[in-house]
Amino acid sequence: MIRINRYCLSNGLRLIHHLDKETQMVALNLLYDVGSKDENPDNTGFAHLFEHLMFGGSVNIPDFDTPLQKAGGENNAWTSNDVTNYYSVVPRQNVETAFWLESDRMFGLDFSEKSLSVQKQVVIEEFKQRNLNQPYGDIPLLIRPLAYKVHPYQWPTIGKRVEHIEQARLEDVKSFFYKHYAPNNAVLAVTGNISFEETVRLTEKWFGPIEKRNVVRRNLPVEPVQEVSRFQEVVRPVPLDSITKVYHMCRRMDKDYHCFDLLSDILSNGRSSRLFQQLVMNRKLFADIDASITGDIDAGLFMVKGKVNKGISLEDADRAIVDELQKLKEEEVSSYELQKVINKFESNDLFSNINYLNKATNLAYYEMLDKAENIDSEIDKYRGVTSHMLKDVAEKAFVETNSSTLYYRASDN
């Protein structure tokens, strides 16, 4: 049981605290309720661009990293479809430095053409390196608009295309910041060797003066039920053919979410999993194959993707995947196989919450979803899943009309 303290500032910032005397460090995790799904379809990649801009200097601090490093700390950030997350780790005696830095960039960034130009180039190079010039890197750019036609999950966090970043204007950037980066749109989780009283004092001192902002209320379009299977084929200069199949699944807070998560583990978590044993080892159809869920807050995707061995057709590989999914629809998973994947989740969950930084990140996320205290009950939801529930979810989700398939052919095949 993780003991949680909570406090809410008058400006709407939610503070979550956990004392951990086993470390001499303190972690601040600041989670903003803004992701790529909040972008204009004609100006995508902004949430990810802001992940970089937030390190480019704030109103009173021209360089974020230097004072933190001088205090013996480190920091990083990541962006998803749903949220943007920043964290800083410092020795306990220098913790106020982290409060000062995080609060100042929430207060306001150093909006300048120079800073924007520098960070745009960084993001553009990242886009090219990860998605355009890397083998198989453009799969997210292809599969998402194939699966989603209305919801903004139809583009990845990096954005739809490089031109959207190239054309980003300073006024657009300022508007996006003040719409989303606000105390009343964030959760601050503080863990480590710091008392709750001191945490409240520093939070009030540094974040309290920041006024709440008029955060735009979401009104996202709901993705309609897919009624016809979708297919796309591309040719690329890659070593092996690849196939990606996705099926629409539920939202993060729906009761079936844990079933989908366990089904993905049954298929591909470890060398004893079904896809590895049947399609890699026994039938030798794939060089590697993986099943996963996107884990999105809104209705997400169940994804199977793999690289096909030379001499194996994509059509045969496709049928083999469908056959494995069909087995989940026809026969209940054995109690042994189900318990094995639940045990793996429980072990990973336990170890992930030992580290004070991971605890800060997880607490902030659970608070954003509903309430931080759910961190202690998540494993119970997995334990409550039955083989019959898995079969029922598989029957509903793994149908042809709910699928989108991408054939990624190697140009030399």
pLDDT mean values, one per 10 residues, the chain (413 residues): 96 98 97 96 92 84 90 95 96 98 92 89 95 96 98 97 94 91 97 98 98 92 97 97 98 97 96 96 97 97 98 98 98 97 93 92 97 96 98 98 98 73
What pLDDT does 109 receive?
A: 86
Assess contact for 46 and 173: CB atoms under 8 A.
Answer: yes
pTM of the model: 0.95
Question: DSSP strand E in 1-83: where?
Answer: 5-8, 14-19, 25-32, 74-79
- Give the type of residue at 24: Q
Place of tokens 């190697």: 410
Assess contact for 368 and 186: CB atoms under 8 A.
Answer: no
Strand partners, 302: 247, 293
Assess contact for 404 and 147: CB atoms under 8 A.
Answer: yes
Q: Please report which helix (H) or strand (E) contains residue 338, including its range.
A: helix 335-352
Q: Which of 159, 186, 199, 205 minimizes the C-alpha distance to 40?
A: 159
Strand partners, 286: 308
- Give the type of residue at 315: E
CA–CA distance, 108 with 30 (Å, rounded to integer): 15
CA–CA distance, 68 with 173 (Å, rounded to integer): 25
Question: DSSP strand E in 181-277: where?
Answer: 186-192, 230-236, 242-248
CA–CA distance, 205 with 194 (Å, rounded to integer): 16
Domains in the chain, please, with CATH?
A: 5-207 (3.30.830.10), 230-410 (3.30.830.10)
Place of tokens 């303290």: 5
Strand partners, 186: 32
Place of tokens 């937030």: 54
What pLDDT does 173 receive?
A: 87
In this structure, is the dihedral angle defined by the CA atoms of residues 195, 197, 201 and 206, taken in order, positive or negative? Answer: positive
What pLDDT does 413 receive?
A: 54
CA–CA distance, 16 with 77 (Å, rounded to integer): 19
Other Cβ atoms closer than 10 A to 142: 15
Q: Say what the alpha-carbon torsion angle 252, 258, 261, 267 is, to the nearest 10 degrees.
A: -150
For 196-230, b/e burial (b = at least 16 CB within 10 A) is: beebbebbeebbeebeebebeeeeeeebeebeeeb
Q: Which of 99, 119, 115, 98 minimizes the C-alpha distance to 57?
A: 115
